Structure 1
């Protein structure tokens, strides 16, 4: 209903037959409408277009003007009637033009977003045949139109393991914060949580190129690159991966439902457990955050995992819903 009123008032404004109160009403309606600016732009463009031009372009305009034009040719003594008809015609043309523009305008990008909840994991097939495993609290999105045929670009926040299908001439590109990763066909892990000060890429097979600012590093299988995105690194140096008894590097142990930590501070481990269990840690003192731990959490509950940690370092804990309080 607001749309009809806006077009009526715009028609009156363009035909010079709008009162001050109606002008105030029009301004208020346009300001409150999500497409108010477009209303004004379209109306101005149509008003400046010759009538014959518009009529030739759209059959709907021909029908409108075919009905209205004869009435516009009434004798001058009927000025109020003519002004009213001009206003109605202006509103009718603007409404028809808006409908055509709304129908014919190019569609915006259709974004597909996939996410995993805190403490959850998910396996997601992509339209090009690639498979992505999302770790806890991870978001991935890409433009659906043309994915796999014209482009293969996604944006990642969090951590995911990718098994990329080969596609001749269409590289797979991941935007992970300030780091871009380009692949052709490979399996690798990317960790890029927004709360982390670094983005890491771990290559299992194939080849990937990791770019940050003006630097690019090509990784080989069983290599990992950590990029400190909060500062400008002098060099980007990959390191060789150490594998556990299962033959997998610790960086992708989460795929086997294992949380691996090696000489991590309690603060670092708390961040990992937050993603693993969906719990938040609160420390009574900074010293507790510096305690270091090594180990593997598999099927243990949060309570069981904390009891296991107490065997190597002295501390107390209290679980209150999703909050964990650590004290001396």
Structure 2
């Protein structure tokens, strides 16, 4: 193999083989800082390197993949190297075992399992996915989203963290153990409800579909109680909580339903929804068009088809090139 997985594995292996090497330390630190999930990978690899058993809480049959790899490696003569500081001979074939294991997991699973001893991390790439939590709650993850929760989730607490991206939570009611979502600088607490959390670079947005949700800045008394249809916006390094009541035809959950609904919606709002849904930049170069209203429903349609319908319905000009859509 000769890909990013190899490079990542090599960084950790070099450090484990020579932990006193300052260059290896710096490379490892830079790699961990680049992605919160990399710390999870390092902790698991370190535990395996030292001979510790990894937890087996993954919902996938990863052990079967390990067994297949071990069968191949057992048939290959092992080469031994110098002993690490623990005083044991460590086969250099560990490096190739981990590289092969990482490749199998990356190819076979939509989810990435990166759990260290105390919690599990799940991440999506370009696809959406869903997860059933131990307490029966369901989580639907948008693309490019990463969450983590304790392996003992549901027993003493129901704390979950969203590091980045967007997730919809359908929470099983349990009045004795509150369901808490931690996002950067923000904490959301519920008993049983359905709500959406979006952790973006500018801040966190919380939208409630049913039930009641408390959204608060961590470490402060500043919080708000949200009811169905209400969305709260909490900015990074901010103190104010802005709330907005949305009508039923809002498109906040369009990423999950795959349906965009516009009910006499101003073109400026349409542009915002389309940009978020399709991951493009939309420029409304003629401000006079902002108040034009669109009445339409698009069910999982390609962007160019949507733009063509808008062009004909509203009698406007639209160009789409690469990642930029211009309306004029």
Give TM-score scaled by structure 1 length. Answer: 0.55
Q: Does 1:111 align with 2:120?
A: yes
Say if 2:234 and 2:242, in contact at 8 Å, map to a contact too.
Answer: no
Q: 1:145, CA displacement in angstroms?
A: 2.5
For residues 36-55 of structure 1, what are the structure 2 equivalents within 5 Å? none
Q: Equivalent residue for 1:52?
A: none
Where 1:166 maps in the other structure, the secondary structure is coil
- The corresponding residue for 2:210 is 204
Q: Distance in 1 between matches of 2:129 and 2:15?
A: 44
The match for 1:184 is: 191
Q: What residue in structure 2 maps to residue 243 of structure 1?
A: 248
SS of equivalent to 2:21 = helix
Query: CA–CA distance in 2 between the matches of 1:292 and 1:192?
Result: 30
- The answer to whether the 8 A contact 1:179-1:199 is kept is no
How far off is 1:215 after superposition?
A: 1.5
Separation in 2 of the partners of 1:93 and 1:308?
66
SS at 1:210 equivalent: strand
Partner of 1:317: 319
- Looking at CA atoms only, which structure, 1 or 2, has the larger radius of gyration? 1
Which protein has the bigger helix share? Answer: 1
Does the Cα contact within 8 Å between 1:202 and 1:251 map onto a contact in 2? Answer: no
Question: 1:133 pairs with 140, 148, 166, which one?
Answer: 140
- Structure 1 unmatched ranges of 5 or more: 8-28, 37-90, 100-106
> For each residue in 1:128-186, what CA deviation from the matched residue of structure 2 results, as whole angstroms up to 9, or x when unmatched?
22111223x34131134222223322223333221112345332111233321101222
Q: Which residue of 2 aligns with 1:193?
A: 200
Instruction: Provide the residue aligned with 1:256 in structure 2.
Output: 257
Task: Report what 2:230 is aligned to.
Answer: 224
Q: CA deviation at 1:242?
A: 3.0
**Whole-angstrom distance in 2 between the partners of 1:238 and 1:201:** 9
The answer to whether the 8 Å contact 1:189/1:202 transfers is yes
CA deviations 1:60-95 (Å, max 9, x no partner) are: xxxxxxxxxxxxxxxxxxxxxxxxxxxxxxx99954
Query: What do the CA deviations read for 1:264-312 (whole angstroms, capped 9, x no partner)?
Result: 554x64453344334x236494749956554432232211100122121
The answer to whether structure 1 residue 326 and structure 2 residue 317 are counterparts is no
1:215 to 2:216 alignment: no
Match of 1:17 in 2: none
* Larger relative contact order (Cα-Cα within 8 Å, sequence gap ≥ 6): 1
Instruction: Please list every run of 5 or more consecutive structure 2 residues that lacks an aligned counterpart in the other structure.
Output: 1-12, 28-81, 91-115
Q: Is the CA contact 1:180–1:211 (under 8 Å) kept in the aligned structure 2? A: yes
| Cα distance between partner residues in 2 of 1:3 and 1:188 | 42
Cα distance change on mapping 1:141 and 1:284 into 2, 3 Å? closer
List per-residue Cα deviations over 1:10-55 (Å, max 9, x = no partner).
xxxxxxxxxxxxxxxxxxx62234499xxxxxxxxxxxxxxxxxxx
CA drift at 1:112: 1.2
- Deviation, 1:319, is 3.9
CA drift at 1:4: 11
* CA RMSD in angstroms, aligned pairs only: 4.2
For normalisation by structure 2, the TM-score amounts to: 0.55
